[in-house]
Amino acid sequence: MRRILVTGGAGFIGSNFVRMVLAEHPDCLVVNFDKLTYAGNLENLTEFLNHPKHKFIKGDICDGALVEKIIDEHRIDAIINFAAESHVDRSITGPKVFIETNVTGTLTLLEAARDKKVARFVHISTDEVYGSLALEEDAKFTEQTPPSPNSPYSASKAAADHLVKAFGHTWDVKYNITRSSNNYGPYQFPEKLIPLMINNALNGKELPVYGDGLYVRDWLYVYDHCAAVWKVLTEAPPGEVYNIGGCNEKTNLEVIDVILGRLGKPKSLIKHVTDRPGHDRRYAIDADKIIQDLDWKPSVGFEEGINKTIDWYLQNEKWLSNVASGDYQKYYEQMYKNR
Ligand code: NAD
Ligand code: TYD
């Protein structure tokens, strides 16, 4: 039986990954380790909290002693590190916690993986470490594109990537790094573009579009990202880095148009606001390596994915209202106080 430690498994992508593994890989024990920051939400996993192959532990990836104890107690054979501060705008208003979690936290996990001889360390990184592309150019990011991060968020992720490689080089920690494009889908916290716009449109609120709205992202449905990470964990040779992309480049205004159309809301809700400082113009992923080497490809196109996502938010108003009210943060105490 596989025994994996998933960090950040109460967040958007981590919880989708935990859900996928429990549903599709019954021979795998998932220890889910999450600090439950504002972005961690146990309501993302309500129906799995008592699952026999899922154990949730609240804690900080900077706490090396606790991480080592968990590795020992559960005989962990792989760490998949999703835990991070993940929002660019927050990294601009308050960069320090990004260094603490994304850099020091990753370092702490690497030390534990090295000292406890964990067989594999899969680090979830981002295409944002590569910097920005111009709208006019055809180029995409490949795994050989040199890192050139522009925001405190992407700088902290690039620093973590370097540490992962350094631990592989220096101590032979068996690692992989994945660099995915922008994800969307169920359970995404409504501070990121797609869920924010859905939430605002549903509530008849203005949709704040930064600058001209012609910034381009390569949208990947979250399930496809999770499936790619599983392939990397189970099939990739150690030391390999993989880009994961949706082949789905869209401007922000194009994405918002689709959302408004599907919800039957007027374009007059769009409000152009002051641009994000240092805003990266375009991200685009060349995912040929993972497609060729691991036989992965995105299974959900943008039209299908965005419709599924909007439907999910429509059907899960309670989840959304608990996030808006802050009630989701009481869930841990309610669920665990009697355990
Ligand atoms: P998220 O913000 O939704 O979730 C992050 C999770 O990490 C939360 O559950 C939070 O409680 C937890 N966490 C934060 N600090 C912690 C700490 N110190 N110790 C333990 N847990 C902590 O993020 P996400 O969108 O799910 O992203 C997951 C990973 O994927 C991140 O590493 C991010 O950089 C990467 N990524 C995200 C995207 C995207 O579009 N969302 C794209 C590419 C890569
Ligand atoms: P975001 O979801 O924050 O992801 P990232 O910046 O990591 O790619 O933003 C996606 C795009 O949407 C980005 O170009 C910024 C833009 N954006 C807005 O125009 N308005 C908003 O309110 C937000 C949150 C993002």
Ligand 2: which residues within 6 Å by Cβ?
88, 182, 192-193, 196, 208-210, 215, 217, 252, 276
CA distance 185 to 304: 11
Q: Are strands 54-58 and 28-34 parallel, antiparallel or unpaired?
A: parallel
Nearest CA to ligand 1 atom 19: 60
The structural domains of the chain, ordered by start, are 2-337 (3.40.50.720)
Each of the 339 residues of the chain gets a pLDDT tens digit; together they read 999 999 999 999 999 999 999 999 999 999 999 999 999 999 999 999 999 999 999 999 999 999 999 999 999 999 999 999 999 999 999 999 999 999 999 999 999 999 999 999 999 999 999 999 999 888 999 999 999 999 999 999 999 999 999 999 999 999 999 999 999 999 999 999 999 999 999 999 999 999 999 999 999 999 999 999 999 999 999 999 999 999 999 999 999 999 999 999 999 999 999 999 999 999 999 999 999 999 999 999 999 999 999 999 999 999 999 999 999 999 888 877 666
Q: Please say whether the beta carbons of 127 and 285 come within 8 A.
A: yes
For the CA of 81, the nearest atom of ligand 1 = 32
For the entire predicted model, the pTM comes to 0.98
Alpha carbons within 13 angstroms on the beta-carbon side of residue 161 total 24
Ligand 1: which residues within 6 Å by Cβ?
7-8, 10-14, 34-37, 39-40, 60-62, 82-86, 101, 105, 124, 126, 157, 180, 182-183, 189
- Residue 128 a catalytic site member: yes
- Residue 153 a catalytic site member: yes
Element (H, E) at 5: strand 2-7
- Residue 127 a catalytic site member: yes
